[in-house]
Amino acid sequence: MPHVNRRCLGLALALLVALSSAAAPRARAGAFYLPERGARALALGGAFIAGADDLNAQWLNPAALTRLSNGLSLYVDLGLIFSDQSFLRQDDPEVTRKDPEYANGFPTVHDQGPPFPDPSLAVASNFGLEDFVFCLGAYGPYAGTNEWPADGPQRYSLVNLSALEFFIQFSAAWRPSKYLAVGIGLQWVVTAIKQRLVISAYPGVFGWPEERSLDTLAEVDVTDSFSPSGNVGLLITPLTGFDIGLSAQLPVSAAAKGKLTVNKPSHYYFSDVEVVGDQINVGLDFPLILRLGLRVYEDKLWSFELASVYEMWSALDEIPVSPGGDGIAFVGVPGIGTYRVKDFAIEQNYDDVISLRAGGWWAPGAGDVTVRAGFFYESGAPPDQTLTVLDIDGDKIGITLGGTVRLGNYQIDLTAAWIDTFQRAVPNSEKTQVNPIYDANDTPYADTEPSYVGNGTYSATNLILATTFSAGF
């Protein structure tokens, strides 16, 4: 049975493909993260490029830090993200016929994760220099949870995902004239991913693709503790009551390293097989982000901004994966002995993303209470062919409402945002069970093949509650 043994040995390669699917963590808005971070920015629908006036400007437009005229400014923000994601997999006649649990078709499954807290903090000072501001902050873009039933019909795409992209940023801003301000930020980016999903060891000549005794759970845990990046910004005031904000977030290239842990299938065929080696390397490229905001306002009374954000997610066309250390191998497979896993890359084929935003605020009587509201539309990054529950993303709209209360030197912001990702029905998925040896040699499968697991209907909504405490002295 040489074909059977080679295909079963190829399970090691399948495990690495599972890793590569996990290796796209929920990163910035438009692909994995939610627009926008920061209570005040979110309250304006993310239209906070030209009008940014708190320490969240270090992320959106560091030039706007020049609006902080205090000797010392403090900032603490907390977003609480509630995710409601669901997936109804397209029925598979073979599964309906052979798996009693799905005799009546696949049920709708839901993201079971709890509300996700996402904090940030920053401190800034002008150090007595009238036209300068310096800021140090730590933050992560807002993100939700991703936890699904361990034995659900989506298990071949994802069981759970914990992903962190954490920025430590030093920013400096300078206003050489009343018409112009410039800013720059230097970023230390930490990326950490931990993911679990089920892969198939179906060999093609016995069993069937979704036989549970041929399922195996794989867990990936990788980290890149330092990726350098940065951003730049401009704030232009050509006329009184009119601002133009421009900023660019530079790409982030992460080289994550860590471990791959595998539970062998329960099928007796794998009883004597041993996995040797657990070190893995993953490359991740995050996009260049360009932002533009146009703002009209009457100082301290009202403001309205239109903004657009362009994210070059087409940079994530593939994810390179390679074994680390002495490599990864399956040892003791009948008739083969040892199979070593080689380097490979997985195609993602993401699209660029554009976001259109509008937001405004009003402070009645230029007093101590400000009311804010906003709206945004944003396109999605993954095409139908690569969409799974790992990243339920697509065209979306958001409606936001918030306000600010000033108490002397202190300010408190409260915001609520509702985000609806348009339902997507996918009939043409290219996502099969992770079992890539089928592509290398499909002879043992005869008229069968690994199951297509990405077809179905995807839905997602998010509610974000955010608050910011800031102070200036």
Give pLDDT tens digits for 342-399. Answer: 676 666 789 999 999 999 999 998 889 999 999 999 999 999 998 999 889 999 999 9
Percentage of residues in the chain with pLDDT exceeding 70? 87
Name the CATH superfamily housing domain 2-472.
Answer: Outer membrane protein transport protein (OMPP1/FadL/TodX) (2.40.160.60)
pLDDT of 5 strictly over 90: no
pLDDT of 16 strictly over 70: no
**Amino acid, single-letter form, for residue 366:** A
* pLDDT of the residue at 443: 64
The answer to whether 195 and 280 have CB atoms below 8 angstroms apart is no
* pLDDT of the residue at 203: 74
Q: Would the pTM of this model clear 0.85, i.e. be above it?
A: yes
pLDDT category at 442 given cuts 50, 70, 90 is low
pLDDT category at 336 given cuts 50, 70, 90 is low
* pLDDT of the residue at 108: 97
Sign of the dihedral defined by the CA atoms of residues 364, 366, 369, 374, in that order: positive
From residue 264, alpha-carbon distances to 282, 342, 430 in Å are 23, 20, 26
Separation between Cα atoms, residue 398 and residue 59, nearest integer Å:
20
Pairing mode, strands 456-472 and 72-89: antiparallel
Structure tokens at 250: 């530079």
Name beta bridge partners: 177.
180
Mean pLDDT computed over 32-49 = 90
- pLDDT, averaged across the chain: 86
Name beta bridge partners: 274.
331
* pLDDT of the residue at 6: 38
Separation between Cα atoms, residue 13 and residue 240, nearest integer Å:
62
Percentage of residues in the chain with pLDDT exceeding 90? 59
